[in-house]
Amino acid sequence: MHQFIATLNPHDATGTHALLLRDALRAAGWPSEIFAEAIHDDLAPEAFKHWMYPEHAAPGDVAIYQFTTSSAVAGYLDELGIPLILDFHNFTGPEHFAGWEPGSVARATAAADELASLAPRALLGLAKSPFSEQALRRAGCRRTTVLPVLADYGRVTATPDGRVAEELARLRRDGGADFLFVGRIAPSKAQHELVKAVWAYRRLYDGEARLHLVGGTSSYEYTKALQDFVHDLGLSAAVRLPGEVSEAALAAYFAAADAYLSLSAHEGFGVPLVEAMVAGVPVVTRPAGAVSDTVADAALVLADADPSYIAAALHRVCTDERLRATLTAAGTRRAAALSRDLAARMVDAVAAVVGRP
């Protein structure tokens, strides 16, 4: 029961999911390895290059493909022709990159073609949300089930990085609320909408409020435009882009946050939304992609994207203790429901179509 993935990265939702699933498959009795087109140096002992699969092949093998983007792995699996399960994390459509990154447009278009090729022959499609399940069915996947992402949510409540925690505490001593978003800097994540909301919040309610945009970038053009936008609004000291951070630093950012704000235009699941719930941080978001499926009743889901409306919601979350308590309690329940016995449920779903090892 071998997994295939485009890129195996540390601190990445799909990479963490693949590693945890491998452990669950092995515990259930299946020999299981990970094969990837690209492997981060830190995870070199955990995987093999995808073209090395024949050295490990055995009769009766089944491939589980972690589908997130276009990859040479898709064509490779098509040529292999072995039984296939699609573990579908969704992918950002080309329309979200139009006008920014021609290469990303081409890659997203290719991902749609690859899904259309693989889905009809898949034994099973494992969707991370009902939203993603619909995409699988449209692509021709005949048998599907919804199972969330396997994640190490405990990392956000672990001991925080002391240096980062002290820096955030120093900023806090000067006053102002702290809002957090975690995700790669990309057009589909709509960080520019977060900047607008915080600009409005600072003008209407709290002139010292800050926004922390944690995550690496997958779009140089968008990142540059975002930095220019922040500068033009006079928010260079208020909007902080620390880039990709360690797990201990991430725990510090969640511990310091007054609210988690997400205005993404597309999400296939949204692991950071659940991380915020686990960390006890109230979530304010909008119903894009799978967001409503993921948060259920555990967030303020805003239909209006007007910055002043979002600012008003943030102000309510920061000042209404009863609302904060309600959202925090609902978030704890929702996070528990999403992760309860998840590894065992994934093993059961696989076994239902291929049999027990």
Residues 210 and 270 in one domain: yes
In whole angstroms, how far apart are CA 250 and each of 197, 295, 357? 22, 20, 38
- CATH code for the domain of 255: 3.40.50.2000
Tens of pLDDT, residues 243-300: 999 999 999 999 999 999 999 999 999 999 999 999 999 999 999 999 999 999 999 9
> Is 348 among the domain residues?
no
Q: What is the mean pLDDT of residues 214-223?
A: 91
Q: How far apart are CA 68 and CA 334, in angstroms?
A: 24
Q: With pLDDT > 70 as the criterion, what percentage of the chain qualifies?
A: 100
In the predicted structure, residue 11 carries a pLDDT above the cut 90: no
Q: How many CA atoms lie within 13 A of 66 on its CB side?
A: 28
Task: Single out the residue of 264, 304, 298 nearest to residue 283, CA to CA.
Answer: 298
Please identify, among 113, 146, 179, the residue that sits at the C-terminal boundary of a domain.
146
Residues 107 and 22 in one domain: yes
Q: What is the mean pLDDT of residues 212-238?
A: 95
Q: What are phi and psi of 165, to 5 degrees?
A: -60, -40
Residue 338: CB partners within 8 Å, gap ≥ 6? 148, 274, 294
Residues 142 and 162 in one domain: no
Q: What is the mean pLDDT of residues 158-173?
A: 95
Per-residue pLDDT, 52: 97
Q: What is the mean pLDDT of residues 129-154?
A: 96
Q: What are phi and psi of 82, to 5 degrees?
A: -80, 160
Please identify, among 124, 146, 168, the residue that sits at the C-terminal boundary of a domain.
146
Per-residue pLDDT, 10: 87
Residues 60 and 122 in one domain: yes
Residues 23 and 41 in one domain: yes
> Is 263 among the domain residues?
yes
Neighbour-count burial of 170, counting CB atoms closer than 10 A to its CB (0-12 exposed, 13-18 middle, 19+ buried): exposed
- Domain of residue 139: give its range: 2-146
- CATH code for the domain of 79: 3.40.50
At residue 305 the predicted structure's pLDDT band, cuts being 50, 70 and 90, is: confident
pTM greater than 0.85:
yes
How many structural domains comprise the chain? Answer: 2
Residues 206 and 310 in one domain: yes
At residue 124 the predicted structure's pLDDT band, cuts being 50, 70 and 90, is: very high
> Is 352 among the domain residues?
no
At residue 20 the predicted structure's pLDDT band, cuts being 50, 70 and 90, is: very high
> Is 102 among the domain residues?
yes
Q: How far apart are CA 328 and CA 301, in angstroms?
A: 14
Tens of pLDDT, residues 325-348: 999 999 999 999 999 999 999 999
> Is 344 among the domain residues?
no
Q: With pLDDT > 90 as the criterion, what percentage of the chain qualifies?
A: 92
Mean pLDDT of the chain: 95
At residue 104 the predicted structure's pLDDT band, cuts being 50, 70 and 90, is: confident
Per-residue pLDDT, 185: 95
Q: What is the mean pLDDT of residues 225-248?
A: 96
Q: What is the mean pLDDT of residues 124-146?
A: 97
In the predicted structure, residue 218 carries a pLDDT above the cut 90: no
Residues 132 and 162 in one domain: no
Per-residue pLDDT, 149: 96
Q: How many CA atoms lie within 13 A of 157 on its CB side?
A: 12
Per-residue pLDDT, 103: 86
Please identify, among 114, 146, 178, the residue that sits at the C-terminal boundary of a domain.
146
